[in-house]
Structure 1
């Protein structure tokens, strides 16, 4: 087989593999879209609302920990350790 024919065969094989991958991805996208619940805009709005609620609750908790720290005469970081609040919490 000539070098040109080998390259042509290799390219056809690569194209076939890419077409298979594309077909699988198209199928996966269709399945994912079918599994979405509700309107995407409503989902985003719900997540934003929940994030706001979370942040409000977190702010209140931080305020309470500040009050506890003041009452005990210690730093807030010490109260975080006492109550098991990590850096990422």
Structure 2
């Protein structure tokens, strides 16, 4: 999925064939079409026939079916976890504690880096001094 600002830009402008009254206005004092620059490497999808539309619809149907299957699988996994005694609030608490642990570990890594720089050594060389495992 493209999340660039260009993908969120949507303009809906009428085309002249949808405005029979346009020919009655004569020359308009403003441009009747708008051209926006496209980001480099982007392509405008242009179906060349009705078959392209059918293919696109079919791929969308397939994607929807896959998403429904994924949702069903996740629902089954959630049901299984709940049957095993897991509680959502406990899982949320556990996740919160993991975030706190990671924040503390990040601060420790930063301090080890500063100490290593002061001593002129690598952080790897400091690990044994503080009884730390390189895999932590």
With the length of structure 1 as denominator, give the TM-score of the two structures: 0.55
Gaps of 5+ in 1: 1-31
| Alignment-derived partner of residue 88 in structure 2 | 41
Cα deviations by residue, 1:4-26 (Å, 9 ceiling, x for unpaired): xxxxxxxxxxxxxxxxxxxxxxx
How far did 1:86 drift? 0.3
With the length of structure 2 as denominator, give the TM-score of the two structures: 0.37
Q: Distance in 1 between matches of 2:111 and 2:127?
A: 11
Gaps of 5+ in 2: 1-82
Cα deviations by residue, 1:59-81 (Å, 9 ceiling, x for unpaired): 00000000000000000000112
Aligned to 1:51, what secondary structure does the other structure show?
Answer: helix
| Alignment-derived partner of residue 60 in structure 1 | 107
More helix by share: 1
| Matched residue count | 54
The reply on whether 1:81 has 2:128 as its aligned counterpart is yes
How far did 1:87 drift? 2.0
